[in-house]
Structure 1
Amino acid sequence: MEIRDLSLTALRVFRAVAEQGTFTAAAVSLGYTQSAVSRQIAAIERAAGTSVLERRRDGVRLTAAGHLVLRRATAALDEIDRMAREVSGLPDQGGTVRVGWLPSTGAVLVPLAITGLRASHPAITVVTREGSTPALARALRTSSVDLALISSAPPFRPLDGQSPPLECQTLTERSLYLALPVSHPLSRRDYVDVTDLRGQQWIAAPSGEDRLMGVWPGLDERPAIVHTARDWLAKLYLVAAGCGLTTVSAGIARAVPEGVCVRPVRGGPQEQRRLLLARLPGPMPEAVARVGEALRAAALETDLDS
């Protein structure tokens, strides 16, 4: 590979494509056109003398050469960023830890963990980003985040099927719940029978996205989805307005707005959800380990409250 032929822009574009999974998504995240992204990837492949991406109908995957290039590109970009901070007089950010999280963990668990860290390890800076479980798994693979809070549902398969497997620790394993308006007839009971969910109207995520908060799994009918929204708070305020029902994780049950009640569902398969703390295998820097401990402590606290 002729390193002199590669620009930092090409390396950043390649990392974005690997993380986002498609040229289109990478272009949007970087503010580039798709053709500009394609040109940068072509430059990488010319320098490498081989394909670094496998083009598939559902996006792209790294080839064996692509994995090697990505590791080297990430190390080079991190070093360039570190040098830029030093030259500009900014303090070393070796104590910065990047955490990815699902929307359902951002309401309670993540703020609780950051609050605890400020008291116990004030020198550690935590920066976060929200994403779906597949997006966060890709972010871990591309070293865009150090830790990720992700969800897993039965039968609890590996997150992305790539090698080596991501290291995952189960923080909580709890049942899925139903969120419904306090004015709804089903809210008068301590629990909802799954048979009573037939014919209900639902609020869910857009098609193809994580439906952790959406339609109750396994219904024996085509659900009537009357509203779609990515944001969990928007879903719950639609519930409060009487617009439909949605599912909710136990982790945010205590953060629901006024006008919403949360009930367990009985009957049918048991709908368990695991909250996992995931990372790449290998040695863990001290700051990352401390953040992991804070997230585990916060998960335990929210588990005791539920």
Structure 2
Amino acid sequence: MDFTDVSLVGLRVFHEVAERGTLTAAAAALGYTQSAVSRQIASLERAARSPLLERRREGVRLTAAGHVVLRRAVTVLEEIDATARELAGLPAAGGTVRLGWFASAGAVLLPRAVAALRRTHPALTVVSREGSTPALVRALRAGTLDIALLAMEPPYRPLDTESPPLAAQTLSERSLMVAVPATDPLARADSVDVAELRGRRWIAAPSSSGREKLLGVWPGLDERPETVHTARDWLAKLHLVAAGCGITTIPASLAPAAPAGVRVVSVRGGPEERRRLVLAHLPHPLPEPAARVAEALRTAAAGTDG
């Protein structure tokens, strides 16, 4: 193996491919053509004298050699970035934690945790970004996130098939609920029977996992649901509910963010729909800054359960 001619550009391209999961997505993120990305990967594989990626219909997966190269690439790139910051006179990033989170966590849970950290650890910086579960898991593996908040639904399968498994701690597990207009007859009680959801108009969004499933429609309805509005943004869906345009499902942790004109009710009857909030990271002890963020998230999650 001869890595003396491997460029930083090649390492950055490989890192981006590992995080994005496809050559096309990496090319788009970097502003390169797909052929340019392919050439950089081919150059790395020649230097490694081994395939670094398995090409699959749905994207790419790191080989054993790819994991070794990625681990070293992350170290090299972090050192280069730290050097650039130091030369620019900027503070070191030792107190920075990179956090990923699923869409609805940004409404209540994330702001509570970050606000608490600003009071208790003002020197700690949290840099966060929203993403789908597959994207956040890839980012953890690629080393561009330290921890990630993920939402899971039954059956609770492993987060990915890589080895060793990611460390995953359940922060809370609560039932799915339904958001209805405050003027709707369903809003008269704290709970509704699942049969009362039949024939309703729904506000939903396609699943980010790519499966043929609508997020926002009560699972397991014995009818073809009527979806009148589609929106990925949780706040948009809730304001459509407030306007009387339909109803939507909502995780219990998001209930405190429901705007005026929305009533959040539980559903009885039929199989119980549970949702689990999970904190995930690579399978090793968290550094102190990341551990502090994790603890703040645990406290915030416990607060939303109250």
| Shorter-normalised TM range | over 0.9
Selected match of 1:288 from 287, 290, 304 = 290
Selected match of 2:263 from 237, 261, 264 = 261
Match of 1:229 in 2: 231
Q: Which amino acid aligns with 1:287?
A: P
Match of 2:22 in 1: 22
| Distance (Å, rounded) in 2 between the aligned partners of 1:287 and 1:264 | 37
Q: Structure 1 residues 246, 48: closer, same or farther in 2, change over 3 A?
A: same
Match runs of 1:92-103 below 5 Å: 92-103=92-103
| Distance (Å, rounded) in 2 between the aligned partners of 1:223 and 1:134 | 27
Deviation at 1:213, TM superposition (A): 4.5
Runs (5+) with no aligned partner, structure 2:
none
Match of 2:82 in 1: 82
User: 1:17-68 CA distances to partner (integer Å, 9 max, x unpaired)?
Assistant: 1111112222232233333322222222222222111111111111111111
Deviation at 1:207, TM superposition (A): 4.9
| Distance (Å, rounded) in 2 between the aligned partners of 1:212 and 1:271 | 15
Match runs of 1:193-204 below 5 Å: 193-204=193-204
Q: Which amino acid aligns with 2:191?
A: Y
8 Å contact 2:203–2:228 — kept in the other structure?
yes
Runs (5+) with no aligned partner, structure 1:
none
Secondary structure in 1 aligned to 2:54? Answer: strand
Deviation at 1:231, TM superposition (A): 1.4
- The percentage of counterpart residues that share the same residue type is 66
8 Å contact 1:212–1:247 — kept in the other structure?
no
Aligned pair 1:42/2:42, yes or no? yes
Deviation at 1:263, TM superposition (A): 0.8
Aligned pair 1:217/2:222, yes or no? no
Q: Which amino acid aligns with 1:230?
A: R
Deviation at 1:141, TM superposition (A): 0.8
Q: Structure 1 residues 26, 204: closer, same or farther in 2, change over 3 A?
A: farther
Secondary structure in 1 aligned to 2:237? Answer: helix
Number of aligned residues: 304
Match runs of 1:70-219 below 5 Å: 70-209=70-209, 213-219=215-221
| Distance (Å, rounded) in 2 between the aligned partners of 1:216 and 1:4 | 56
Selected match of 2:272 from 270, 273, 283 = 270
User: 1:224-271 CA distances to partner (integer Å, 9 max, x unpaired)?
Assistant: 222222211122122222222211111110101122211111111111
| Distance (Å, rounded) in 2 between the aligned partners of 1:188 and 1:75 | 57
| Distance (Å, rounded) in 2 between the aligned partners of 1:105 and 1:87 | 36
8 Å contact 2:207–2:214 — kept in the other structure?
no
Match of 1:246 in 2: 248
Aligned pair 1:65/2:60, yes or no? no
| Distance (Å, rounded) in 1 between the aligned partners of 2:223 and 2:2 | 58
TM-score, normalising length: structure 2: 0.94
Deviation at 1:286, TM superposition (A): 1.0
Q: Which amino acid aligns with 2:170?
A: T
Deviation at 1:212, TM superposition (A): 8.5
| Distance (Å, rounded) in 2 between the aligned partners of 1:223 and 1:25 | 33
TM-score, normalising length: structure 1: 0.94
Q: Indicate the larger mover: 239-248 or 268-277.
A: 239-248
Q: Structure 1 residues 154, 141: closer, same or farther in 2, change over 3 A?
A: same
Q: Which amino acid aligns with 1:267?
A: G
Q: Indicate the larger mover: 219-228 or 90-99.
A: 219-228
Q: Structure 1 residues 35, 224: closer, same or farther in 2, change over 3 A?
A: farther
User: 1:169-206 CA distances to partner (integer Å, 9 max, x unpaired)?
Assistant: 11111111111222323222321211122222222222
Q: Which amino acid aligns with 1:112?
A: R
Q: Indicate the larger mover: 47-56 or 94-103.
A: 47-56
Q: Which amino acid aligns with 1:271?
A: E
Q: Which amino acid aligns with 1:53?
A: L
CA RMSD across the alignment: 1.7
8 Å contact 1:51–1:66 — kept in the other structure?
yes
Secondary structure in 2 aligned to 1:3? Answer: coil
